Structure 1
Amino acid sequence: MAIIDARTLPDASPIEADLVIIGGGMAGIALARELAGGPLQVAILESGGMEIDGENQALYAGSGVQRAPGNPDRPFDDYPIQSRVRALGGSGHVWGGKCAPLDPADFAERAWIRHSGWPVTREAMQPYYDRACDLLEIARFPLERQPSTDPARQPLALDAADGFFPAPRAFSKFSGGVDKAAFDAFRTRFAEAPNITVYLHANVTKIRRRDAEIVGLDVACLSGQRHTAKAARYVLAVGGIENVRLLMASENLGNRHDLLGRFFQGHVTYSADGDAEAEGTAVTISRDTPMELYAPAKRGAHCVIGADLQAQARLKTGNFTATLFRATTTNPDTKAIARAGGRLAGRGDGQVLGYFAMAEHFPNPESRVTLDPDHKDSLGMPRVRLTWVYGEQDYPDLERSVAGLADALGASGEGRLCWSIPRDKLLAISSASRHHMGTTRMHADPTKGVVDPDLRLHEASNFYVAGSSVFPTSGIANPTLTILALVMRLADHLKRETVQ
């Protein structure tokens, strides 16, 4: 129907629909697209405008700290504001477009990892992953691994005995950082459907409930207007931190069992260039044949080295990947690795690539998002405090995973791997991604999760939560594709409810 600036509405305007989606990021847009042209009248309430704006971004400001055993605390106050975007399209404005499904192991309950296991299997998610890939116009990811017939893209021989395999990654054009014109069309054209209305600059400040039913929303504009929104059903999709913030600010909705905001998980990478005293994180590959499968010359579809359930069970670790890349002397972060590669190539003895490691951040109830009642934003909402905590298992797990890959490379004759980062330096050198997971985790048991397997809030009959906050475990893959797959699944559920 339209994209409307809520600031232009008369004060105290009522917004009414069959379904209200709180948040116009990738999840909210994908859900609206699935419902476009259908019988439901859908309203999206987006806090920001069409483009990134400093006044809107300031609403994200909060405080943060990272903690890990044996490492000094790392102040992280900038992360809550820098890792999100408050505008129509959400973090799709800065997302690089990288896509991958979670691995089958990510959905499994692994006895050696507390709080692991999803209430849905990877096999059951396959049709929704297929639909998410179609939406993003990328090739689908088949459940069974496909052999490569391209001689320039042959995998390392690590899989059969050791459980390390080539895990594919693809890139979508629907990103503000990749193809802005395509992204702009993706985030706006769905609103042309007669049953869709998008409201910009519409900040939801409170969710109102009566017993187990949500009965309305308070909506505020930075310009001073106040509105209300009411629907038969609601979907909250404002990100892994803001989902928690709004629920907590709404009389602790969803927190009956003190789970809301806990189990925050993030993705970080670990790498280091070498110097005169230490080698960098580099892989020496024995073969001289091209490594296009893992380190293509140009940005595009490739594979990382992943650890499947067999490897994780053998090593008693979580998920792990090593992403290989071509080091260059023009990059100040990879100069030493590139020089080492040049020396090796000069002898005609294989090749050297840089790599960065990622290890699954284990679910930890002490890693959490809370509210800071002493500091409020310009709408009167309490700001967030992020306490991002690694447990005793995380860093030893990372080191065992690296050692397992090194053993596999050596035993197969495919190469050698160097790991030169002391455990007490891991937190300081880690680089955080914009991925916020786990804070409204899904579980069939309301004492173990905030939402049920249909993403319905356990405490409300007509309220759902979408996004990576519902992930029980983090895996390694960029979360966007799984977020969209879960949205496809939710859309089907909402359609079924409509016809009942």
Structure 2
Amino acid sequence: MAIIDARTLPDASRIEADLIIIGGGMAGIALAKELAGGPLRVTILESGGLEIDADNQALYAGFGMQRAPGNPDRPFDDYPVQSRVRALGGSGMVWGGKCAPLDPADFAERPWIPYSGWPVTRAQMQPYYDRACDLLEIPRFPLDRPRPSGPERQPLALDPADGFFPAPREFSRFSGGVDKTAFDAFRTQFAEVPNIAVYLHANVTRIRREGLEIVGLDIACLNDHRHTAQAARYVLAVGGIENARLLLASDNLGNGHDLVGRFFQGHVTYSNDGDDQNEGTAIAISRATPMDLYAPDKGRTAHCVIGAGLPAQTRMKTGNFTATLFRVRASEPQTPVAADTVTISKTVARLARQGDGQLLGYFAMAEHFPNPDSRVTLDSDQKDALGMPRVRLTWAYGDKDYVDLERSVAGLADALGASGEGRLCWSLERSKLLGACSASRHHMGTTRMHADPAKGVVDPDLRLHEARNLYVTGSSVFPTSGIANPTLTLLALTIRLADHLKQETVR
């Protein structure tokens, strides 16, 4: 149909459709693409416009705090607004395009990790991962992880019994930060299909419920126009923080068991620089052969990180863990050569210039475990320009998060040494981990998926336990966070949801 600016509609307009998708980010767009050309009249309500705008971004402003045992609290008020984009395409506007599926271990119930286990397996998700890869025009990720080949891309000869493996990463061009022309087509052309309509600047401020039925939506525009919307079914897809915010602001919708907003999980990277007196995070590789598989010479190149599979996690009683390697050019020690480089280790640069061997920098990532005290809440005393309560994010870690991080680093160091492949330096003190970490724009877990309404906000079909006709999609439904960038998984879950909605229509 069209892309329509809701601010231009007559005040108090009524929008009607068979299915309304709240949110025009990557999940909302993927769902509309799957339903394009079908029998359903589908409408997307997107709160932003076609470009990033300061007034729209200000609606995300809130309050944040990171907390961890033995570390001073870290104020994080900038994070709620800086880690998201309120525009058609969502955070895909600035996403780097990195893609990877979650590992089989991430879906498994691991007795040593409280609240772990998904109601779907990695094998059951495989066809949806394949379709998500096709959508993003990247190679598919086989379930059996074929070994890389080629003289320039030989994996480290780590003992399979140790459980560390090369975990592949691919890059999509469909990102506003990578190929804006391609991404603009990705996020707009689907709306040309007759059964699709997209409304911009349409901020849903309330989901209205009567009994177990959602009966309508309240919409507000920054020009003071107010509208309503009604459909037979609704899908909430406004992100890992905003999904919880809107449910809580709608009379605690879905929160009968006090779970909405809890279990917030995020991804951070850990690394540090060194100097002549103090070592930084670095890996000394024994082999002289190229390490292009792990540390390609150019950024945004398909590569592998070192992952800890289920055998490693079971043996160490830890969660997921990865080490991402990157090169340091001796002539340009301050120039990162990998897209995800957080810091360049001065130690690595210094030793590389001295010709002391093949040295690489690395940053570590460890699974942020589900924690009910890590949560999104509302500040009823602080409102945005539309009258919505602002969010308060308490990003909390427990003792196990840091114990497992250190245990995983030690396990990788042992595996490198036992294989003769190298040595690892880890120079971060536990009491300084919170201050040293760098946060990603990944918000997960706040409307977690579980078959039991007492343990999850949505069921395995992503339907809200407390409403018959409201679904939630995106990374907020993840029970556990894994390590992989969440985009591919949230798209796979959304494609799976599309199939469910189509089947409901047939019935």
Aligned to 1:95: 95
1:447-493 CA distances to partner (integer Å, 9 max, x unpaired)? 00000000000000000001000000000000000000001100000
Question: In structure 1, the residue corresponding to 2:359 is in which secondary structure?
Answer: strand
Aligned to 1:481: 488
1:375 aligned onto 2:360: no
Aligned to 2:290: 290
Name the TM-score, length of structure 1 as normaliser. Answer: 0.98
2:61 and 2:185 mapped to 1: Cα distance? 29
1:445 aligned onto 2:419: no
1:398 and 1:480 mapped to 2: Cα distance? 24
Aligned to 2:312: 311
Contact 2:220 2:227 in 1 (8 A): yes
Contact 1:159 1:165 in 2 (8 A): no
Change (3 A) 1:99 1:93: same
* 1:277 to partner: Cα distance: 2.3
Aligned to 2:352: 341
Aligned to 1:249: 249
1:258-278 CA distances to partner (integer Å, 9 max, x unpaired)? 011000000000001111221
1:152 and 1:89 mapped to 2: Cα distance? 36
Letter in 2 for 1:39: P
1:340-378 CA distances to partner (integer Å, 9 max, x unpaired)? 1232xx35xx40000000000000000000000010001
Contact 2:25 2:92 in 1 (8 A): yes
1:427 and 1:330 mapped to 2: Cα distance? 24
Aligned to 1:402: 409
1:330 aligned onto 2:299: no
Contact 2:281 2:345 in 1 (8 A): no
2:451 and 2:148 mapped to 1: Cα distance? 39
Question: In structure 2, the residue corresponding to 1:406 is in which secondary structure?
Answer: helix
Letter in 2 for 1:458: H
Contact 1:64 1:386 in 2 (8 A): yes
Which aligned pairs between 1:97-116 and structure 2 lie closer than 5 A? 97-116=97-116
Aligned to 2:269: 269
Question: In structure 1, the residue corresponding to 2:10 is in which secondary structure?
Answer: coil
Change (3 A) 1:159 1:181: farther
| Matched residue count | 496
Name the TM-score, length of structure 2 as normaliser. Answer: 0.97
Letter in 2 for 1:383: R
1:4 and 1:202 mapped to 2: Cα distance? 10
Question: In structure 2, the residue corresponding to 1:183 is in which secondary structure?
Answer: helix
Question: In structure 2, the residue corresponding to 1:448 is in which secondary structure?
Answer: coil
* 1:147 to partner: Cα distance: 1.9
Question: In structure 2, the residue corresponding to 1:151 is in which secondary structure?
Answer: coil
1:158-192 CA distances to partner (integer Å, 9 max, x unpaired)? 14120000000000000001000000000000000
Question: In structure 2, the residue corresponding to 1:255 is in which secondary structure?
Answer: coil
* 1:62 to partner: Cα distance: 0.2
Question: In structure 1, the residue corresponding to 2:48 is in which secondary structure?
Answer: coil
Question: In structure 2, the residue corresponding to 1:407 is in which secondary structure?
Answer: helix
Change (3 A) 1:475 1:159: farther
Question: In structure 2, the residue corresponding to 1:207 is in which secondary structure?
Answer: strand
1:423 aligned onto 2:427: no
Aligned to 1:189: 189
2:389 and 2:325 mapped to 1: Cα distance? 42
* 1:392 to partner: Cα distance: 1.4
Letter in 1 for 2:415: A
1:405 and 1:317 mapped to 2: Cα distance? 12
Letter in 2 for 1:323: T
Contact 1:327 1:335 in 2 (8 A): no
Contact 2:275 2:346 in 1 (8 A): no
Letter in 2 for 1:33: K
2:121 and 2:347 mapped to 1: Cα distance? 43
1:258-312 CA distances to partner (integer Å, 9 max, x unpaired)? 0110000000000011112211100000000000000000121000000000000
1:40 and 1:371 mapped to 2: Cα distance? 35
Aligned to 1:240: 240
Letter in 1 for 2:109: E
Contact 1:283 1:354 in 2 (8 A): yes
Aligned to 1:15: 15
Aligned to 1:2: 2
Letter in 2 for 1:374: D
Question: In structure 2, the residue corresponding to 1:454 is in which secondary structure?
Answer: coil
Question: In structure 2, the residue corresponding to 1:385 is in which secondary structure?
Answer: strand
1:464 and 1:370 mapped to 2: Cα distance? 21
Which aligned pairs between 1:13-162 and structure 2 lie closer than 5 A? 13-162=13-162
Aligned residues with identical type, % of pairs = 80
1:309 and 1:336 mapped to 2: Cα distance? 32
2:167 and 2:305 mapped to 1: Cα distance? 5
Note the residue ranges of structure 2 that are not aligned, 5 or more in a row. 336-342
1:235-269 CA distances to partner (integer Å, 9 max, x unpaired)? 00000100011000000000000011000000000
1:199-250 CA distances to partner (integer Å, 9 max, x unpaired)? 0000000000110000000001000100000000000000010001100000
Contact 1:363 1:438 in 2 (8 A): yes
2:104 and 2:134 mapped to 1: Cα distance? 21
Tell me which moved more, 326-335 or 480-489. 326-335
Note the residue ranges of structure 1 that are not aligned, 5 or more in a row. none
Contact 1:216 1:230 in 2 (8 A): yes
2:248 and 2:23 mapped to 1: Cα distance? 17
1:490 aligned onto 2:497: yes
Contact 2:159 2:419 in 1 (8 A): no
